[in-house]
Amino acid sequence: MSVASSGEVRIAWEQLGDGSGDPVLFVHGLGYERHGWGPAPELRAERYRVLVFDNRGVGQSDIPPPPYTVAGMAADALAVLDAAGIERAHVIGASLGGMISQELVLAAPARVDRLVLCCTTAGGASAYPMPEKTQVAFAAFAADPSEQGLRLLVENALAEKTVQTRPELVEEVLAYRVAHRPRLEGWQAQAFAAFGFDTNGRLAGIEAPTLVVHGTADNVVDHRNAQLIADAIPGARLELLSDAGHIFMWEQPERFAELVTEFLG
């Protein structure tokens, strides 16, 4: 593990692979730290210089007092690139990490080569709202951040079909979440940052080639938001994964890796 400095906040990060390929920065979502991608980063480390990090509020990064903003978390991501000595990288963001990635490319377009936005939204009044099922799950976890609360979040983040037919994957993701349990104050600060996010009216300014990926069975972020983002970013490509949930990188890691490799070239 290495540490980047974003102002007074320390951000934990690490590199996967031998460093010989093009750099790819993975930016994860609410409550997930750098190990929360399943096998996807390791699958790409054979070809790329993969960087993963803990957003402020989780993992081994600092948990500064709130409020957090998505723009501030994008500055943290840039601090990781600076610490790694990387001027320009491909950026892959999931959920809250997709919001962070939008702010990153808008704030520092010269630092982003290609952009992959996964299971995310542009926020604001034009976006499809968070499904009620997830609002209930989030409220339940905030009231009871125990293993049972984490199980509810895990099952909600997977497609219902996956929960029913692949109980071993449910247990695998739950084991990760228990081993890397987010502290409630950091999780809540990240959540409030996401609730205040809005890039509507600004996405047309993204010039980086962009791939938008979303699972059609996502219970956390309505998959119709993917079309809104793809329509707003000039030339963006949209890929919908049938029967995949919010954390499709765990459910369909090979398909996700295939899409990323094809797009990044």
Overall size of the chain counted in residues: 265
Alpha-carbon distance of 244 to 216, in angstroms, equals: 6
Place 255 in a pLDDT band, splitting at 50, 70 and 90.
very high
Question: 254-262: long-range contacts (C-beta < 8 A, 24 or more apart)?
Answer: 254/43, 256/40, 256/213, 257/40, 257/43, 257/44, 259/211, 259/213, 260/40, 260/44, 260/92, 260/116, 260/211, 261/44, 261/47
Question: Computed from CA positions of residues 32, 38, 42, 43, in that sequence, does the dihedral angle turn out positive or negative?
Answer: negative
Q: Which two tokens stand for residue 131?
A: 């499904």
Average pLDDT, the chain: 96
Q: What is the mean pLDDT of residues 213-229?
A: 98
β-pair partners for 36: none
CA distances from 143 to 13, 35, 97, 148, 150 (A): 30, 25, 24, 11, 11
Residue 4 to residue 79: CA distance in whole angstroms: 6
CA dihedral 89→254→119→97, nearest 10 degrees, is: -40
- How far is the C-alpha of 47 from the C-alpha of 49, rounded, in Å? 7
Mean pLDDT of 29-58: 93
Give percent of the chain above pLDDT 70.
100
- Predicted confidence at residue 18, as pLDDT, reads 79
pLDDT at 42: 87
Dig out the tokens for 107 from the structure. 């704030």
pLDDT tens, residue by residue, 81-125: 999 999 999 999 999 999 999 999 999 999 999 999 999 999 999
User: pLDDT tens across 125-184, in order?
Assistant: 999 999 999 999 999 999 999 999 999 999 999 999 999 999 999 999 999 999 999 999
197: three-class secondary structure by DSSP? coil
- Over residues 125-135, the pLDDT tens digits come to 999 999 999 99
- Domains assigned to the chain: 2-264 (3.40.50.1820)
117 close to 229: Cβ distance less than 8 angstroms? yes
pLDDT value for 96: 98
